């Protein structure tokens, strides 16, 4: 189970995305996210509306969806940056995402307003694992089959 660097530009993109993930763990990113969510809520649910409290979305789930999105993209970038067997690529993506998720939560220890959680590490790792399973496809047969990260045809047509 060996991996080699397939494309350094995808690796650079993965590293930059990791920097974004780590930045997202800071107080200033949390404040910017809350500010953006406030603006969206005010636009969608005006204060004078009687049903605002009942209809307004729960921010907990919105923030967890952001976690899923960040780590799904991270998994895609990681998978595009290496080549090897499907199993090795999937293992690499999941382990790297677990390390990144742990680092992201560890960064939150530096900010009193942030609360790191094991649940978020598991959510981040799980998101990357699902992405790795869906995106890393076998390109041959046998136990030493090569793998490639292929974007499904439906998604390619959308771009």
Number of domains in the chain: 1
The stretches of 1-139 forming alpha helices (DSSP H) are 8-23, 27-44, 52-55, 59-81, 86-107, 118-135
Q: Please give the mean pLDDT across all residues of the chain.
A: 82
Distance, in Å, from the CA atom of 90 to the CA atom of 138, rounded to the nearest integer, reads: 11
Length of the chain in terms of residues written: 159
Report yes or no on whether pTM surpasses 0.85: no
pLDDT (average), residues 49-77: 80
pLDDT of residue 40: 84
pLDDT the model gives residue 157:
58
Residue 128 has pLDDT above 50, yes or no: yes
Res 45: pLDDT: 72
Rounded to whole angstroms, the Cα distance separating 38 from 24 reads: 17
What is the percent of the chain with per-residue pLDDT over 70, rounded to a whole number?
A: 77
Structural domain for 30, as ranges:
3-158
5-32 pLDDT per residue, tens: 777 899 999 999 999 999 999 999 999 9
Q: Per-residue pLDDT for 141 more than 50?
A: no
């Amino acid at each position: 189970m060996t991996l080699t660097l397939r494309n350094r530009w995808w690796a650079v993109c993965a590293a930059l995305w990791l920097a974004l993930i780590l930045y997202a763990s800071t107080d200033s990113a949390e404040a910017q996210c809350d500010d953006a969510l406030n603006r969206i809520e005010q636009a969608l649910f005006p204060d004078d509306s009687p049903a605002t409290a009942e209809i307004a979305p729960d921010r907990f789930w919105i923030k967890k969806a952001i976690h899923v999105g960040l780590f799904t993209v991270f998994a895609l970038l990681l998978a595009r940056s290496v080549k090897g067997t499907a199993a090795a690529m999937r293992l690499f993506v999941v382990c790297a995402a677990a390390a990144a998720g742990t680092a992201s939560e560890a960064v939150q220890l530096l900010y009193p307003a942030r609360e790191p959680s094991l649940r978020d590490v598991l959510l981040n790792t799980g998101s990357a694992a699902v992405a790795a399973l869906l995106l890393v496809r076998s390109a041959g047969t046998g136990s030493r089959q090569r793998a490639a990260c292929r974007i499904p045809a439906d998604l390619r047509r959308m771009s």
